[in-house]
Amino acid sequence: MNKQTVVSAVDLSKSYGKAQNLFWALLDINLTFQRGESVAIIGKSGSGKSTLMHLLALMDQPTSGAVLIDGQDVKTLSSRKLDNMRNKKFGFVFQQFFLNGNASVLENVILPLKIAGVGSRERRRRGMEELEAVELVDKAKSKANELSGGQKQRAVIARALINKPQIIFADEPTGNLDSATGEKIIQLLFELNKKKDITLIIVTHDQDIATRCDRQIHIKDGRIQEEAN
């Protein structure tokens, strides 16, 4: 399989505070992510793993260093391009789901398409398609509040997939689920990773999940401690 770098971090550092309160959340991170691989970013809370994910997902700006998407330094891109990139290239799966409980499952799933300005008929068609992929077609019209935890996370995955992203960022995807349901979600994520050649970046503190990834990056005190395959 020919390797293609989709995201890379070059001397990436992030600090908070000033002078004697200066605190380096991340220091000199150098990483590359290939198309279609699954990578776990693992570390305890406060290790800087979430900060790293935010930087890679272009939701935050580094203090120094650079993030390259498809070889291009994102600092050179306009905010419009950045917004467009997050919309089209990335999918997000969050621990707390962030579903709008009063809206229907379908409405929640098609939100990225709505933001992208896709027409309503096309939105519906693609929404149903993704719901089918996560086996939630029968719940399309239900309110998101009525779903179980596992169903909610499947809806979130459908939402992440809807723009056919290159990369899925999953932040503690099983954090709010019991282990059996969590296992199913993880299986679904890996299946998509393999089948659709989507780069999967999972932020977790769960070693079991991490070991199933192609690569593990251990973070401690803002530095990469070890990389294991």
Partner 1 sequence: MKFRDIFLTASANMFRSKLRTGLTITAIFIGALTLTVTNGLSAGISSYIDKQVNNLGQGDVISITAKNTTSSSGAGNPQKYEPGKVSGRGSGPDAGGILLTQSDIDILKTDQDLTDIKPAYVLNPDYIQGVNGDKYVVSLSPLGGNNKLDLAAGRQIASDASDNQVVLPISYVAALGFNDAASAVGKSVTIAVSDATGEQHTVTATVAGVQQKGIVSLSGAVAGSALEVNLYNLQTIGLPAASKNRYQSASARMVGGTGDARLKEIKDRLDKLGFTGTTTADRLGAFKTVINAITLVLNAFAIIALLAASFGIVNTLLMSVQERTKEIGLMKAMGMRSYRIFLLFSIEAVLIGFWGSAVGVAVAMAVGFGANHIAANGILKDLPGFDLLLFPWQSIAGIFLLIMAVAFVAGTLPAWRAARQNPITALRYE
Site for partner 1 in 107-166 (CB under 8 A): 111-112, 114-117, 120
DSSP assigned state of 183: H
List, in sequence order, the alpha helices (H) in the chain: 49-56, 79-89, 105-109, 111-116, 120-133, 149-161, 179-195, 207-211
Burial of 32 (0-12, 13-18, 19+ CB in 10 A): middle
Residue (23 or 98) nearer to partner 1, CB: 98
At residue 140, what are phi and psi to the nearest 5 degrees? -50, -40
Please give the Cα distance from 225 to 147 (Å, whole number).
39
On whether the CB atoms of residues 213 and 39 are closer than 8 A, the answer is: yes
48 binds partner 1 (CB under 8 A): no
Query: In whole angstroms, how close is the CB of 3 to partner 1 at the nearest point?
Result: 27
Query: In whole angstroms, how close is the CB of 121 to partner 1 at the nearest point?
Result: 13
Applying CB under 8 A, which of residues 23, 46, 59, 73 lies at the interface with partner 1? Answer: 59
Helix (H) or strand (E) segment spanning residue 204: strand 199-204
Query: In whole angstroms, how close is the CB of 101 to partner 1 at the nearest point?
Result: 10
Query: In whole angstroms, how close is the CB of 214 to partner 1 at the nearest point?
Result: 25
Query: In whole angstroms, how close is the CB of 183 to partner 1 at the nearest point?
Result: 25
Residue (59 or 228) nearer to partner 1, CB: 59
Site string for partner 1, 66-95 (x = CB under 8 A): -------------xx--xxxxxx---x-x-
Position 197: which residue type?
A: D
Residue (156 or 185) nearer to partner 1, CB: 156
Q: How many CB atoms lie within 10 A of CB 142?
A: 15
On whether the CB atoms of residues 144 and 105 are closer than 8 A, the answer is: yes
100 binds partner 1 (CB under 8 A): yes
Question: Residues touching partner 1: how many (CB under 8 A)?
Answer: 25
Site of interaction with partner 1 (CB under 8 A): 54, 57, 59-60, 79-80, 83-88, 92, 94, 96, 98, 100, 102, 111-112, 114-117, 120
